[in-house]
Amino acid sequence: MFLPEGMGPDRVLRAIAGLTMFSSAYLAENVRGGLQSVPRGQTEAAKALGLNTPLALREFDSRDNPYFTSG
């Protein structure tokens, strides 16, 4: 096998699971922070136009919010 002596697949799988959970929590915090950076007025304007939440998030203009970048 390709693993060093004394290290079984169980230990490797636990390490992979731990790193995966850490990475997903870190990514979730980045997304949460990005969503919270949207100004309240911009969210209210989207609701006033009748946009649902996914459509409103997609339509936020990068010119009004410097935290979003257009790709």
Which is it for the CA torsion 67, 22, 58, 39, positive or negative? Answer: negative
Q: What is the pLDDT of residue 61?
A: 57
Please report, rounded to a whole number, the percentage of residues in the chain having pLDDT higher than 90.
20
Residue pair 41/48 in contact (Cβ under 8 Å)? The answer is: no
Rounded to 5 degrees, what angle do the CA atoms 42, 70, 22 make? Answer: 85
Single pTM value for the model: 0.55
DSSP letter at 61 equals -
